[in-house]
Amino acid sequence: MASSLSAAAQPCCFLETGSFLSRSGKSEARRGNLFPAHVSAGLGAFGSVISAEGQPFIRLREGREARLWRSSRRVIRVVAQVGSAPAKTATPAESDRWWSSDTIAVVTGGSKSSIGLEIVRKLSKEGVKIIFTSRSDKTGREALEKLRSEGVDSVEFHELDITNQQSIDDFASWLQQKHGGLDILVNNAGVMVISAIGQPASYDVVKLNFDVNYYGTKRLTEKLLPLLRNNPAGARVVNVCSRMGALKNIGPKLQPRISDPDLTFEDLDALVAKYLDDLKAGRPVDEGWNKSAYANSKVAEAAYTRILARDIEAAAGGKPVLVNAVCPGFCRTDLGNPHPEKKGDFRTALSLTFFRTARDIVAPKSAEEGADTPAWVALAPPNSANGAFFSDREDVGY
């Protein structure tokens, strides 16, 4: 198999197809002497580990490849990315086109050079009216000015902090009064806040992740569900989750409780509340939660999505709605610190122990590529999947 890496690349080890790097950095065809399971799972988030001409690669989604490098401290870093497949279009077949120029989509977290902003661009190109939100009025208006300079006219901005109930209420009231509701909700706003590498997540760090990724998404969705317009083709709720929140990333004691098909909103809230209360009180946390606060918040968000999809008929007052989770993949964005003015307080790097800093990695996807699947799911034709978890336009399951 031919390699796409340059001849200058100097791999330090050889990886058999389907295996992971051993602690010694040598080839391992068997499953012994590997990094801990959560590290292996982290590698899987990029794609499958393969070998080509004796060189180690992670085969990334959409055909991209990256070289693995092992440092003297025995951590794995992605240090080179070669090539990039063109972003797919979110345009479905003309016969599947259910929306019109009157269709209204709300996209949260749509400022800066983010996945949200790219989702706005993609949906706008399809003729959908967009309302995007940001916690910062200044940043949001700058993004709006940039979009309009690009010729994107069917777009509005409204300030929204999904951790603040009053802000949510004000936004919902404005949306109803000005537009009469919405047809598509893309819950894209999120944060990744972690403790110092190698240290357990503190209560404050965990709470920050859950306040935005779980509670914020949940509160906004519950407020806007009554405002979803009764379209014969159905409305759409798209929650931008993460494969770090996959069930495989929590322990066997917790998995059956989270994956229980009869899990209710109240059950999930109780599990999350106990986790946070135990951390705050300094009590041992129930075995099964991941060491990553971000991953745990995404586990909860994905579970919420699955419950909502199951119970959407009752939750939306009988209106037809498709509810799905999507993972945009690991993209070159500023996801992380929710308080930029306090850069010294939090590390905005991936909470995987084989990364030392955010500079140790080259994200395999652009924001535009990451926006492809969320936009595609937002425009899914009637009778499409409900309650699925999509990544690269494939249902990968929870």
Q: What is the pLDDT of residue 280?
A: 94
Question: Quick check: helix, strand or coil at residue 37?
Answer: helix
Q: What is the pLDDT of residue 110?
A: 79
Q: What is the pLDDT of residue 196?
A: 62
Contact between 34 and 20 (Cβ < 8 Å): yes
Q: What is the pLDDT of residue 332?
A: 67
Q: What is the pLDDT of residue 353?
A: 34
332: closest CA among 127, 115, 138? Answer: 115
Q: What is the pLDDT of residue 127?
A: 95
CATH code linked to domain 99-395:
3.40.50.720
Which residues neighbour 343 within 8 Å (Cβ) at sequence distance 6 or greater? 337
Catalytic residues: 294
Calculate the CA dihedral of residues 254, 256, 262, 264 and round it to 10 degrees. Answer: 10
pTM: 0.73
Beta strand residue intervals within 108-234, DSSP E: 129-134, 155-159, 184-187
User: What is the domain partition of the chain in residue ranges?
Assistant: 9-82, 99-395
Point out the residues of the chain with pLDDT beneath 50. 1-91, 336-360
